[in-house]
Amino acid sequence: MSSSNWTVDFLNQLISAAVTVEQISLPSTTLWQTESNHWQQFAELALQQNMRWVAGWAEHVQDRFFINACFEKQGVYVLLRAIVNAAKPELPSQAIVYPAANRSERHTQDMFGINFIGHPDNRRWTRHKAWPKHSHPLRKDFSVQGTPDEITQPDMDYPFVKAHGTGAYEIPVGPVHAGIIEPGHFRFQAVGELILNLEERLGYVHKGIEKIAEGRSPESLARLAGRVSGDTTVGHAWAACKAMEQAAGIDIPPRAALIRGVLAERERVANHMGDMGAICNDVAFVFAQMQFTRLRELWLRTNATVFGHRLLMDRIIPGGVNCDLSEESCAKIKQDIIQLRKELSEIMSAVDLNSSLEDRLFTAGYLAPELAAAFGTLGYVGRASGQSFDVRKNAPYAPYDQVAFKVPVETQGDIASRFWVRNKEINAALKLIEKFIALLSPGDIISPWKTPVAGSESLGIVEGWRGEIVSYIRFDADNKIARFYPRDPSILNWPVLEKLVLDNIVPDFPVCNKSLNGSYSGSDL
């Protein structure tokens, strides 16, 4: 069935079910506006159509709230919107239908005071007592400075699930960890070494990204987006710039698109090598960890030499890029790829022959394909459990629409699969970089900016190294940002960690966690 056919069929299904929908055209996205009392019913019908729940957020506009949810099928995105009165903001929960919507609705509840009727878990999520219970930071009457106490009260009374039964006990881990990772709390219930339940508590590094985005210029917003999650600076900056460019009606130059592709794939390679080394380190295979770390360091040094920044921060700007590729730089990148392929093949041979590594990774941290689908898991986490979706392939954008490539998918769903999918993605990324360099031709690297009409809005969607990144932008008057919402893939991937650790032993949690490697910062907006 073509994408156009399924949307028509779905609209007919909505009409038959008496769900009213008004169609509104947005750049590159379909917007369907519905009544709040049809919000949950739409989700039920969307699930019947095998639509994937992608993201949810809200916006305060005068005396109303715009509630948004994004869905996808066959590479076509549908933005659903309901408008509710600010005096009594409520609508039925979609989390009953889509587990992926759970934490998003809790975040919206905390930040706007919107009540999702029937929500399966309406405990606070984002608010760690840093502001009063009945204050809501993303309402327009809440100042960006807030009214913080001199000392924020400790969040000691969060109602975690309690352990019961003979031999059952709790293990609290974090939020401060022994290493240099970001803060997050994990509460285990176990019997002996067997994990019976895991509950996550994130939000310790909430930064107010959505609030401080308001009133920014496009250039300033791009810099902010690149800091949503520092290891995904290219992915988030690209998604935000793509949304702004679509809202402004700007096409970036072909050369700029190719350079963006090179930047994104270099970010993918660096992070995958870091993750693979960390997975090996968590099971005491230190030799592999040292080799992956060494190769990553050499890769980052080339980033600094060629692009002026090890992590490629602030290279993507509205309208294009602010870095070009000389013939000498292209030659260096290609030579580095040759060397990396050679050394990676040698390391992977040693990894493949290590029986103790195999014992720790195979069958551990199993995530069933049906569970991965239900939670909408993305990137290497989803692809290791049979989820083939990749924005670059399913909803292609420049420069990925100019090249052929394969998306690696496995179905075993364990830590080993998440390890080997990363390796396959590195190899695919190296080929893509070579293809993008081969397609480079002389030309501009930035297009002149056009001030968008006030109220212009758009979704920018790209494939980051962790998976699909969604960035929503609405412009105010005078070229200023009215609303910015970035959805990192980790927001959908974190919840499955609570599932894939079940029936594993407590000592395997660190490597289960590392095989997922969710971004704390990307979730704690």
Q: With bands split at pLDDT 50, 70 and 90, how would you rate the model's confidence at 483?
A: very high
How close are the terminal C-alpha atoms of the chain, in Å? 38
Amino acid at 134: H
Nearest C-alpha neighbor of 515 from the set 327, 268, 282, 295: 282
Average pLDDT over the chain, rounded to whole? 94
The rounded distance, in Å, linking the Cα atoms of 422 and 351 is 14
Buried/exposed code over 493-512 (b: 16+ C-beta within 10 A; e: otherwise): bbbbbebbbeebebebbbbb
Q: What is the pLDDT of residues 205-255, one digit of tens each?
A: 899 999 999 999 999 999 999 999 999 999 999 999 999 999 999 999 999
Q: Which CATH architecture has domain 209-523?
A: Orthogonal Bundle (1.10)
* pTM (global) more than 0.85: yes
Q: What is the pLDDT of residues 347-396, one digit of tens each?
A: 999 999 888 898 899 999 999 999 999 999 999 999 999 999 999 999 99
The rounded distance, in Å, linking the Cα atoms of 170 and 147 is 35
Q: What is the pLDDT of residues 152-210, one digit of tens each?
A: 778 888 999 888 888 999 999 989 887 778 899 999 999 999 999 999 999 998 999 99
Q: Give the pLDDT score at 1.
A: 40
Nearest C-alpha neighbor of 523 from the set 79, 66, 126: 126
Q: With bands split at pLDDT 50, 70 and 90, how would you rate the model's confidence at 114?
A: very high
Q: With bands split at pLDDT 50, 70 and 90, how would you rate the model's confidence at 129?
A: confident
The rounded distance, in Å, linking the Cα atoms of 486 and 507 is 34
Could you tell me where in the chain the CATH 3.30.460.80 domains are found?
Answer: 3-117
Q: What are phi and psi of 92, to 5 degrees?
A: -65, 150
Could you tell me where in the chain the CATH 1.10.645.10 domains are found?
Answer: 209-523
The rounded distance, in Å, linking the Cα atoms of 105 and 113 is 10
Comparing 50-59, 87-96, 162-171, 512-521, the range with the smallest average pLDDT is 162-171
Q: Let me know if domain 3-117 sits in CATH 3.30.460.80.
A: yes
Does residue 448 surpass a pLDDT of 50? yes
Does residue 4 surpass a pLDDT of 70? no
Place of tokens 């070579």: 434
Does residue 447 surpass a pLDDT of 70? yes
What is the share, in percent, of the chain residues with pLDDT greater than 70? Answer: 99
Three-state SS sequence of 275-322? HHHHHHHHCCCHHHHHHHHHHHHHHHHHHHHHHCCCCCCCCEECCEEC
Nearest C-alpha neighbor of 131 from the set 106, 105, 104, 113: 113
Amino acid at 525: L
Q: With bands split at pLDDT 50, 70 and 90, how would you rate the model's confidence at 436?
A: very high
Q: With bands split at pLDDT 50, 70 and 90, how would you rate the model's confidence at 3?
A: low
Q: Give the pLDDT score at 148.
A: 76
What is the share, in percent, of the chain residues with pLDDT greater than 90? Answer: 83
Q: Give the pLDDT score at 356.
A: 87
Does residue 480 surpass a pLDDT of 80? yes
Q: What is the pLDDT of residues 466-476, one digit of tens each?
A: 999 999 999 99
Vertex 128: Cα angle to 127 and 133 (nearest 5): 55
